[in-house]
Copies of this chain bind each other. A is one copy, B any other.
Amino acid sequence: MLEQVISSEVDACRVLLDQLADKWTFTVFLALRDQPHRFNELRRRVPGITQKALTQSLRRLERNGMVSRRIVETAPPGVEYSVSAIGKSMSEPLDVLAQWAVRQLPSILAAQAQFDSRPESHAHSDAADLADYDTVTVRSRF
């Protein structure tokens, strides 16, 4: 029945989201999408990231087959990361999502502002939880 079809999509999507949705993995993927990079190159391309976080993100992406890790024989030896074929194929649906997000962002921000500007109605939270949402949202490195 219908439920079955939906649930498979749900699961597949959740798997995907779980992979990308931690704090850095998605950003790292985008930083790596244009061209291969070495470890510390990536670290510079993603300001604010820790070695630990970068390693975790790369391992995660590598495990899912999204990026490939290659040892380059130079002096001193280095490691080069690049997005794989399947990783590139993921870019397309991601771009669709990104375009939607860019277009709808104003509407979303407006909805957020409207929602936040009525502490009476059924607002339970003491506005402490909402604070970070906004700051994170507005953040744009220009």
Minimum-distance CB pairs A-B, first 3: A65-B111, A21-B21, A12-B101
Interface residues of A in 51-79 (CB under 8 A from B): 62-65, 69
| A residues contacting the other copy or chain, number (CB 8 A) | 55
Interchain residue pairs with CB less than 8 A apart (6): A15-B136, A63-B115, A63-B116, A86-B108, A96-B96, A96-B97
Known: A16-B101, A17-B17. A107 touches B65 (CB 8 A): yes
Known: A13-B97, A116-B63, A140-B8. A104 touches B86 (CB 8 A): yes
A7 and B65 form a contact (CB under 8 A): no
Instruction: Fill in one digit per residue for A84-102: 1 if any B CB lies within 8 Å of its CB, else 0.
Output: 0010011011101111111
> Which secondary structure dominates chain A's binding surface?
helix
| Identical chains bound together, number | 2
Q: Which residues of B contact A63 (CB under 8 A)?
A: 111-112, 115-116, 130, 133
A13 and B111 form a contact (CB under 8 A): no
Known: A15-B108, A65-B110, A96-B93. A8 touches B86 (CB 8 A): no
Q: Which residues of B contact A136 (CB under 8 A)?
A: 15, 18
Please tell me which one of the listed residues B18, B92, B141 contacts residue A100 in the complex, with CB atoms under 8 A apart. B92
Q: Which residues of B contact A111 (CB under 8 A)?
A: 63-65, 86
Q: Which residues of B contact A133 (CB under 8 A)?
A: 63
B26 and A101 form a contact (CB under 8 A): no
